[in-house]
Amino acid sequence: MPLSDNLSKEELRLKEDREKTKYWRRWGTYVSQRSWGLPREDYTSDGDAWQFDFETSRSRVYRWTEDGIGGISDNHQNICMTLAFWNENDDILKEKLFGLPGGASAKSGNHGEDVKEMYYYLDNTPTHSYAKFLYKYPISKFPYEQLYEENSKRGKLDQEFEITDTDAFKDNNYFDIFFEMAKDEDDPEELNFRITAYNRSQAPAPLHLIPQILFRNTWSWADNDEKSHAKPKLSKEYEDSNYSIKVDHHKLGDRRVVFAPAPGLTDSSNDVEPKLLFCDNETNFKRLYNVENKTEYTKDGFHDYIVEEDETKCNPENFGTKACGWFVFDENGGVPAGDYVTVRYKLTKKPEIEIDEEEFDQVFDNRIADADEFYWNVSPLPIPQELRNVQRQAFSGLLWSKQFYHFIHDYWYKGDPNSDLPPQVGRADGRNKEWKNLYNEDILSMPDDFEYPFYCSWDTAFHTIPFAMIDCDFAKKQLDLLTREWYMSPQGQIPAYEWNFSDTNPPVQAWAAFRIYKIEKRMYGVQDRSFLERVFQKFLINFTWWVNRKDPDGNGIFEGGFLGLDNISLFNRSEPPANVELFQSDSSGWIAWYALVMMNIALELAKENPVYEDVASKFFEHYLLIADAMTYLTTNDHCDPDGIQDPTPESLWDEEDQFFYDKIHWGGNKTTSMKVRSLVGLIPLFATSTLEPELLNRFPNFKKRLNWLVENKKELVDRNLSSMQIKGSGDRLLLALVNKDRLTAILQKLFDEGEFLSDYGIRSLSKYHETHPVSMDINGQTFSVKYLPGESDSGMFGGNSNWRGPIWFPTNFLLIESLLRFYLYYGSDLKIEVPKGSGDYLNLAQAAEEVQQRLIHLFIPNEEGKRAYHGEGQEIFATDPHFKDLVNFYEYFDGDTGRGLGAKWQCGWTSLVARFIQDVGVSTRPPNTPRRRKSAYLDDDEIKNYTPRPSPFPLLSRRKSGKSLLNLAAHKLELDDNEMGETKMPGLSRRGSTKTVDSDAGGHEMNENFLNQVRSAMSNYKVGQEPEVHDDELETRH
């Protein structure tokens, strides 16, 4: 395929998909690892979704979405390709990953639902032209019962018992099973699959590899349109051949699965041929409920046939709705020690009857090269290979977490139109009854495809930031969908997550939309104003919902709500004690920030449509009133004749502690601060922004309105926005909820290692409360909070998350961004001691980089090869050569040790580390090294002599922006030229060459051109203890 406009092949595929000339995204890694235990699949009267557990799922069909190991499907999950294995020791066929349920049963995890397997997402591209997955399968009997029993003995104060705590992987006694998918060069409908299984043990071991194809069951509850079509069918295509399965589906046409014989275990061995088996994707009622089955062959038929050796459980006539190719490697004891076996197969529309192995493997080689080219273009600067590995796996996990999500509220709530099983009595008054508008049938980004296989709207916003680096179209699509009428409620609420769509999570979606808009403009030179304006209209409705719902008194202080921080407070803030009125510092801070984001979007849109200038003024006034209320909370008795509120002791700002706290009113006139030092008091820092002089000059009406407020509401402005009258660095004005003194006071706590600053980022609750717990008696009940750096000690919110000390990426990301915005105003005039007591004073840009470095250190091996998130006692991850380069992305991390907690595999928002690596990867130092010049991975000579990875493709294949001294890779805040004013900096060119490279000489010339740009930028970069950071350089990071 010839290069066009200097795009990589993967970028060309994205372009073709965007223009709908080829549908590269139709097939992808869209099958969740778990669909059991979900509210969607819960049809009970008491709402106990965990009754549908792992054991049940092996024999019960799903109503909404399928699950499976390494699953591939089309974008409506009509056809699914999954994996199954058997080691001849397990009692069950390994068709899905094992984990403990949530809830309160004897089998529940001591910290909620928890997967108990070892698997890794090694690679993936935005179009899924190539994907790679690794499953580590024990050779000995899988320890199902031991995992149940040991976890049942553990309480909330104990750590979880993991599979690596068993002997499952002792002495390397396991298989590494790699699964890959590669699409053909020019045809996105041609899917090639390769399984390569390595025996890592010291002895031969038998292995059964069972690639499967199945139809999602749509016929059992089909509406009239579905019933008008023939039931889909899988059948053996040729009577005398075991290599081809015919696939008939009315929505996807005729296809076939073609298997190649697998090479034998030795050079002298015969090939291993598959045996084709067929059953139906139907429930085994006899096994589960001891009643007659509706169909003769059920979804657990392969288990019965292979493991139980009951050949009556698969259809001898060789057709059904679920099929597999069964490969058995057991000659001479099985796969030899240290050796491997390979299975090749494909899903094709072509009339192929055999696979040419050489051509087949070449497809994989080509797609791997395409993936390498794509990701080297994303990160072309001299990032150390260790960090490049982390970033690549972060992107991969993010892409593997794209899942088909299906939920139609009417059908779930009332029962399917043609179903003979209506919902149970009482269910109509249960969960999510008010969300009648939901009609979800899309590919969505999930937080984690086992522990959170459903969308969580505030998680999604953070997912879109790293997604925007590699696939802006998908990132925009996520926010588009959340604001459409079949997601957003008629009142303007964005659905939270399926356990309770009505929960209120932080309003981060508008911020994410604006960040995507700016990232796309910087990295790809595309300015999608249509997208920004479209979602802005929906966010206007959402903002109104927030103001009406969470500020019912109109006093600017927002009360009550979940707000995504689970157990951070003394009590569940969604369900406060009786007769208690809660005023939240963080919710007020979130809405003030939301108002600023909306103001900035309105100003951006006003560049082409002056109508939005007035809208920007409206949001500025909203912001100002919230700022005043947070700092000077009053009743109507304290208003002067102009309506300006006088300050009272009821402010959310505590003068004694110099910190923001939540307040509660109860028992008549009792009012008190809940003096818990947590993110609740840091979130008001998010609500900050700078106003550039060029911007104000461009919008005279907006400037006029600001000046009127300064002149006519002087007291209001003086006590909240003193910086509005004092120009800062670059003649900027600052909007912030804190002045310089208050900001300094908060930052002293933020960068105190005895309070918020950990070796691995910013804690969610101050370590101060480890020795100073907070306790409060309210209406005869005692509520308390103490510092808990690890897992939660209660079952609140399911018990599988904790905001009382651990480190969370989303809030760290926003804190870093806030520090950079404060730096834009204060420049080098404000420095803070980092860490407190060290004697090292940093400006706020340098302080922000220090936090990024500490977060990155979670994933980098130390001198002993250990990564902090592994915790203590997990030597296998540092010593086993087949584990040491594999990376997990946990949901959150221990505030003291960095140990990974919560969802274990590729939790979506933790992939934000990919952005941090892009920002500061060049200057990142190894863990446990001081912040000084020679502590970075790369020294000056390595940077000076850096040569981008050799490639036959021109490396100047995408638009590149200038690089700041701090990060050299991406602009953290993405300011555009107008926002940057007249300031410029040396760096990579903003525009790439438009000529097409069609010769080696041309490619070499472009490589040299790009290399010279890189070296030029690098020549200005020094890895010093206190690098000089200029205002104009950071300003490019807006």
Residue 22 pLDDT exceeds 90: yes
Mean pLDDT in residue range 816-833: 96
Mean pLDDT in residue range 660-674: 77
Is residue 89 within 8 Å of residue 223, measured between CB atoms? Answer: no
Output 1024 or 333, whichever has higher pLDDT: 333
Lowest mean pLDDT among 24-38, 99-113, 398-412, 485-499: 99-113
Residue 1035 pLDDT exceeds 70: no
**Per-residue pLDDT tens over the stretch 609-627:** 999 999 999 999 889 888 8
pLDDT of 994 reads 30
Residue 395 pLDDT exceeds 50: yes
494 to 39, 489, 549: CA distances (angstroms): 18, 6, 13
Integer Cα distance of 934 and 410 in angstroms: 63
pLDDT of 933 reads 47
Is residue 700 very low, low, confident or very high in pLDDT (cuts 50, 70, 90)?
Answer: very high
Express as a percent the part of the chain with pLDDT over 90.
64
Is residue 802 very low, low, confident or very high in pLDDT (cuts 50, 70, 90)?
Answer: confident
Mean pLDDT in residue range 213-226: 87
Tokens of 49: 């979704």
Residue 414 pLDDT exceeds 80: yes
What are phi and psi for residue 11, nearest 5 degrees?
-65, -35
Rank 198-207, 404-413, 737-746, 798-807 by mean pLDDT and report only the highest: 198-207
Residue 421 pLDDT exceeds 70: no
Integer Cα distance of 363 and 356 in angstroms: 11
Is residue 551 very low, low, confident or very high in pLDDT (cuts 50, 70, 90)?
Answer: low
Instruction: Give strand ranges (E) for 852-951.
Output: 892-893, 900-901
Express as a percent the part of the chain with pLDDT over 70.
82
Lowest mean pLDDT among 33-47, 767-781, 837-851: 767-781
pLDDT of 571 reads 60
Is residue 469 within 8 Å of residue 918, measured between CB atoms? Answer: yes
Output 965 or 691, whichever has higher pLDDT: 691
pLDDT of 1011 reads 47
In sequence order, the 6+-apart residues with CB closer than 8 A to the CB of 429 are none
**Per-residue pLDDT tens over the stretch 252-291:** 999 999 999 999 998 888 999 999 999 999 999 999 999 9
Mean pLDDT in residue range 484-490: 97
**193 SS3 class:** strand
Is residue 153 within 8 Å of residue 919, measured between CB atoms? Answer: no
The CA-based diameter of the chain, rounded to the nearest angstrom, is: 98
Integer Cα distance of 1005 and 995 in angstroms: 12
Cα 1004–chain centre separation = 38
Residue 1029 pLDDT exceeds 70: no
Integer Cα distance of 94 and 115 in angstroms: 14
Q: What is the mean pLDDT of the chain?
A: 85
Residue 982 pLDDT exceeds 90: no
SS3 letters across 735-769: ECCCCHHHHHHHHHHHCCCCCCEECCEEECECHHH
pLDDT of 924 reads 85
**Per-residue pLDDT tens over the stretch 558-601:** 554 445 555 656 666 556 666 667 766 677 888 999 999 999 99
Burial class (CB in 10 A: 0-12, 13-18, 19+), 307: middle
Mean pLDDT in residue range 6-24: 96
Q: Which residues pair with 120 in a beta bridge?
A: 134
pLDDT of 451 reads 94
Output 177 or 410, whichever has higher pLDDT: 177
pLDDT of 819 reads 97
Return the exposure string of 439-450: e unless at least 16 CB atoms fall within 10 Å of the residue's CB, then b: bbebbbbbbbbb
pLDDT of 629 reads 75
Residue 335 pLDDT exceeds 60: yes
Domain ranges (residues) in the chain: 9-353+362-378
Output DSSP code: residue 636.
Answer: G
Is residue 214 very low, low, confident or very high in pLDDT (cuts 50, 70, 90)?
Answer: very high
In sequence order, the 6+-apart residues with CB closer than 8 A to the CB of 945 are none
Is residue 952 very low, low, confident or very high in pLDDT (cuts 50, 70, 90)?
Answer: very low
In sequence order, the 6+-apart residues with CB closer than 8 A to the CB of 618 are none
Output 51 or 1018, whichever has higher pLDDT: 51
pLDDT of 567 reads 60
Residue at 331: amino acid letter:
E
pLDDT of 572 reads 61
Mean pLDDT in residue range 42-66: 94
Cα 33–chain centre separation = 16
CATH topology of domain 9-353+362-378: Beta-galactosidase; Chain A, domain 5 (2.70.98)
Residue 456 pLDDT exceeds 80: yes
The interaxial angle of helices 809-826 and 457-470, nearest 10 deg, is 70
